[in-house]
């Protein structure tokens, strides 16, 4: 098992149950020194795609999952990692039990562009389902977006 940190729609435990059925939720935490942003507008079907960039003084809420090797391979395919859309990197996550090392996906493209309102809503709903603080979810719901999608 490897520890995976989800910051987009995969924060939703029900979605992860479908995408990675043999990989239990492990809890939540914060990726410190990084921020959620969007990029690759020309790659997405309805606007820019979620990614992370380093930025001191910021943090991103994540849901943690113990991924089985088979589920990791399936998730790589689902996320487009096998096509080069996303890269996998290892990061340190702060949890109530202490820091842990996990991997996550980052977009292999430039930052910029806006997500669709629908896509941003999916991410906000996933954060809420994972137990993100109300102010974090509110910030997601009020981010700039496009009306397409």
pLDDT tens-digit series, residues 115-146:
999 999 999 999 999 999 999 999 999 999 99
What CATH number does domain 2-133 carry, 3.40.50.720, 3.10.490.10, 3.30.930.10, 1.20.1050.10? 3.10.490.10
Is residue 35 within 8 A of residue 139, CB to CB? The reply is: no
pLDDT, tens digit (0-9, with 9 covering 90-100), for 45-70: 788 999 999 999 999 999 999 999 99
State the Cα–Cα distance between residues 108 and 52, nearest whole angstrom.
11
List 34's β-bridge partners, or say none.
54
Non-local CB neighbours of 112 within 8 Å, separated by 6+ positions: 38, 39, 41, 48
Q: Given pLDDT bands bounded at 50, 70 and 90, which one contains residue 41?
A: confident
pLDDT, tens digit (0-9, with 9 covering 90-100), for 73-94: 999 999 888 888 899 999 999 9
């Amino acid at each position: 098992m490897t520890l995976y940190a989800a910051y987009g729609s995969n924060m939703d435990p029900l979605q992860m149950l479908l995408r990675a059925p043999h990989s239990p939720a492990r809890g939540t935490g914060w990726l410190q020194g990084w921020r959620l942003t969007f990029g690759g507008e020309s790659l997405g079907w309805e606007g820019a795609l979620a990614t992370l960039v380093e930025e001191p003084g910021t943090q991103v809420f994540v849901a943690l999952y113990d991924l089985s090797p088979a589920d990791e391979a399936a998730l790589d395919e689902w996320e487009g990692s096998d096509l080069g859309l996303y890269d996998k990197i290892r990061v340190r996550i702060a949890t109530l039990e202490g820091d842990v090392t996990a991997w996550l996906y980052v977009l292999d493209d430039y930052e910029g562009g806006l997500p669709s309102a629908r896509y941003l809503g999916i991410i906000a709903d996933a954060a809420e389902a994972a137990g993100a603080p109300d102010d974090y979810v509110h910030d997601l719901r009020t981010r700039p977006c496009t009306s397409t999608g």
